[in-house]
Structure 1
Amino acid sequence: MHPWRSVVGVTVCLLIAGCAAPGDTTSPQSVAPEAAVTAKAAPDTTVPVRPATPVARAPKDPAPRYLTVEGTTINMPIVEVGVSAGGAMEIPEPFNEAGWYRFGPAPGAAAGTAVIAAHVDTTSNSAPFSQLRSLAPGTLVTVQRDGAEAVTFQVTGVELMAKDAFDGASIFRRDGPPGLKLVTCGGRWLDEQQDYGDNVIVTAVPARRP
């Protein structure tokens, strides 16, 4: 992935790389909070960033375990991911798993944005997160949590953000209103870079209770 800009009020400075599962379910790629997401069966294209000290999640925030998105086939387990040796947020190897950046807020936390990312495709097929770009405002996103009731979010928008102009400050927040970002790759495939040119970013806010 390409470097993300520094995030205001955040101590991590990472990357989001490789959002396409190489092969069908193998070869881990990296993602980074404060950077862009890449895809396809491409080599690791992460860009080094300044060292960072991730801040652990508050114990009171239950970890997310499962993600479903209304009107799609996105129905996948969530695993906790951290930072790779290259300074990027890791993405699970299987294309049908999503990774939650455990050093940031958890879905359902009182403040800040939880970030969940996954591959967009494999060398032969689209992955579930390829459907993110077509989500309509109002779509419900449900996150099952470990030992706690599920939390539901409502999509407010979908953005295609160029990786070379990625605004990490708008993605990885540890303060402000609670929210959720779902991230994968998208846009045009760049043969020379063996990477997608953009990131698909879904923004969602806590759904109002009836």
Structure 2
Amino acid sequence: MAASPLSPGESGPAPSRRRFRTLVTVLWSVAALVLTVHLVAGWDEPSDDGSPPHTPPAVSSTTPAASRGSDAPAGPHRSGASEARPHLPRSRPVRLLIPEISVDAPFTGLAIGRSGQLEPPPPDNTNLVGWYAKGVSPGETGTAIIAGHVDTATSPAVFARLGELEKGDRFHVVRADGRKAAFVVDDTESFDKDRFPSERVYGDAPDAQVRLITCAGAYDRKARDYTENLVVFAHLV
């Protein structure tokens, strides 16, 4: 992803919400020139003994939306758009609970690095998920971004079974305010990294939505990267 002179974490006077959404839209237009951000680059090479690769995953990403309240839809469309949309105030996520795939993992905050790319969770903890801390928190109106490794150089990681989730499955995010936000899965899709639908995945939403993201597909040993990204679309209930 191309670096931008403006990032969600830029210091200086805070612009109005409308102006900030406009700036984020412009930032996407620049960032979308390069759609793939590697969660980890240059880690240990996978073994050559024919065993499955356990190198770290990649997450295709433009800078995630940091604004809230936009009327632009994102992700799968659901019926009942006129119905009241549940939402919660901003609060830091503490733990991700996905019983269907045995996930019980703490959160760490992720930021946009100097390159303009979303930094990955630390590589030394296989049971850890990250969220874009300058963006929407899970449960707020908008699109919250949660990323995790599918494996590491030595073992499977927190999102190793993410692809098993199906429409209608539920998961929870425990928040610092003591609330447990419940989400239901709308869809699970894999996308080629060369054709990653950035606006659909990272675009702002009129209700409280979450994206769970990890890598998927075949492992390209030459590129030291996976060929696809897996995205779980979900909304607050």
TM-score range, shorter chain: 0.7 to 0.9
2:176 to 117, 138, 146: 146
1:165-180 → structure 2 map (5 Å cutoff): 165-180=195-210
Cα pair distance change 1:106/1:159, threshold 3 Å: same
Could you report, residue by residue, the CA deviation over 1:28-71 in whole angstroms, capped at 9, with x for unpaired residues? xxxxxxxxxxx8248x9999x8xx7985889x511111001022
1:114-153 → structure 2 map (5 Å cutoff): 114-153=144-183
Cα pair distance change 1:66/1:45, threshold 3 Å: closer
Kindly provide the amino acid, as one letter, of the partner of residue 106 in structure 1: S
Q: Are 1:17 and 2:46 an aligned pair?
A: no
CA distance in 2, matches of 1:154, 1:169: 21
**Residue 63 of structure 1 corresponds to which residue in structure 2?**
92
1:1-210 → structure 2 map (5 Å cutoff): 10-11=24-25, 12-13=27-28, 16-18=37-39, 40-41=55-56, 55=66, 60-93=89-122, 94-109=125-140, 111-207=141-237
CA distance in 1, matches of 2:135, 2:109: 11
CA distance in 1, matches of 2:171, 2:42: 23
> Root-mean-square deviation (CA), in Å?
3.3
Q: What's the TM-score once normalised by structure 2's chain length? A: 0.66
Give, in angstroms, the shift of residue 174 of structure 1.
2.8
Give, in angstroms, the shift of residue 175 of structure 1.
3.6
Moved more, 170-179 or 114-123: 170-179
Q: State the secondary structure of the residue aligned to 1:89.
A: coil
CA distance in 2, matches of 1:105, 1:189: 31
CA distance in 2, matches of 1:189, 1:200: 14
CA distance in 2, matches of 1:53, 1:136: 24
The structure carrying a bigger helix percent of its residues is 2
CA distance in 2, matches of 1:135, 1:156: 10
CA distance in 2, matches of 1:159, 1:45: 13
CA distance in 2, matches of 1:206, 1:54: 18
Q: How many residues align?
A: 181
Q: What's the TM-score once normalised by structure 1's chain length? A: 0.74
Contact 2:219/2:225 (<8 A) preserved: yes
Q: State the secondary structure of the residue aligned to 1:143.
A: strand
Contact 1:104/1:172 (<8 A) preserved: no
In the alignment, structure 1 segments of 5+ residues that lack a partner are 24-38
CA distance in 2, matches of 1:196, 1:71: 24
Q: State the secondary structure of the residue aligned to 2:159.
A: helix
Contact 1:20/1:40 (<8 A) preserved: no
In the alignment, structure 2 segments of 5+ residues that lack a partner are 3-20, 45-53, 70-88
Kindly provide the amino acid, as one letter, of the partner of residue 112 in structure 2: V
CA distance in 2, matches of 1:46, 1:157: 18
Give, in angstroms, the shift of residue 125 of structure 1.
1.4
Could you report, residue by residue, the CA deviation over 1:151-179 in whole angstroms, capped at 9, with x for unpaired residues? 00011111001110011111213342221
Q: Kindly, what percent of the aligned residue pairs are identical?
A: 27
CA distance in 2, matches of 1:169, 1:206: 20
Give, in angstroms, the shift of residue 18 of structure 1.
2.2
